[in-house]
Amino acid sequence: MNLEELLAFFGRHPYLSMGLAGLTVALIYTEIARLFRGYKALRPAELTGLINRDNALVVDLSSSSDFEKGHIAGSKSVALSQFDPESKLLANVKQLPVVVVCRNGMASTAAAKRLKKAGFEHVYWLDGGIAAWQQADLPLVKGRK
């Protein structure tokens, strides 16, 4: 396909052309916004490295019953309804890496955004949540601690 044929296609299909242009702009905007948002998604293997290398604090936003069914070793349980960046748990760790996790990765993104707005320097969230952790065949700890 050459440029002449491409321009002819755009002329014959203006709505498809506008849709393609709109989707392209939306994708570019989303990727640029992701680069500048200040918090980063981690895959399970990256999280294990961050825990082992930098002693990251892992905050699990799952309900108490879900936390007891299985959580990442060393993670701290904080119910989503009680999550507060100014809590005692988080007050002295603004310089340390903080990773928020939930069951599927949805609630943790909002929590990561709140941490970044509160002045935390190294904020991460587990992409896919505990479900992704399990899919990677990584162990979970049962019980309260």
CA angle 39, 26, 116 (to 5 degrees): 15
The CATH topology of domain 38-135 is Oxidized Rhodanese; domain 1 (3.40.250)
The pLDDT of 25-39, averaged and rounded, is 79
Give the pLDDT score at 29.
84
> pLDDT-derived band of residue 32, with 50, 70 and 90 as boundaries?
confident
Show me where the domains of the chain are located.
3-34, 38-135
Distance set, CA 128 to CA 87, 98, 107, 144 (Å): 25, 17, 10, 22
> pLDDT-derived band of residue 136, with 50, 70 and 90 as boundaries?
very high
R_g of the chain, CA atoms, integer Å: 20
Give the pLDDT score at 91.
78
Name the β-bridge partners of 97.
122
> pLDDT-derived band of residue 145, with 50, 70 and 90 as boundaries?
low
Q: Which strands form 76-77's sheet, in the order they lie side by side?
A: 39-42, 122-126, 97-101, 57-60, 76-77
Burial of 129 (0-12, 13-18, 19+ CB in 10 A): buried
Using one digit for the tens of pLDDT, what is the confidence trace for 61-109? 999 999 999 999 999 999 888 899 988 888 788 888 999 999 988 899 9
For the whole model, what pTM was predicted? 0.75
Percent of the chain residues past pLDDT 90, beyond the cut: 59
Using one digit for the tens of pLDDT, what is the confidence trace for 77-86? 998 888 999 8
